[in-house]
Structure 1
Amino acid sequence: MEEVSEIVGFRAVPVYDIQQTEGMTLLFNPIVPDKVESSDFAEIIYEHLKNKFNEELSITEKTLDRVGLYGYYTPSEHSITIIAFY
């Protein structure tokens, strides 16, 4: 009998530490602040954007107690998962 190894999954790990990089800090979007306080307006905008994106690809939400993971893309399902912190 022959033993065969195969990859059946993966786990998310940091690829590098930001301290290992050089250069100026890049702004992701200077219009939107890093921390958005909870508000009715923020909730309305979030739901609108999520619904609009759902027209093109599947977007789901999960709760997960993991620092540094905010979401991921699954190519085989063409879907985005957003990690929600409640």
Structure 2
Amino acid sequence: FPTQVGIYPNGLPAFGGENGANPAIMSSNQSGSVNRKDTDLRGKFSFDLNLDKVTEGLSVKGFAGIRKMNNDEKSWYTPWT
């Protein structure tokens, strides 16, 4: 709202309105930080086996897939209210 201030003249943050979310504080590093690292490894293995020695025209095709995901998150929240 245009009548609400984000920072009081004395430098303290004002009430941010709904849920106390003050945009002036949220857009700075004063409210804390979240560091997140994601890793995603994907692999696909396929094979084609010809079995003509067993039966004429017989073959086997297949594949296997693997996926490994990992995430690491560190959060630091500084109370500002």
Which entry has the higher C-alpha Rg, 1 or 2? 2
What band does the TM-score fall into relative to the shorter chain?
Answer: under 0.3
Structure number with the higher strand fraction is 2
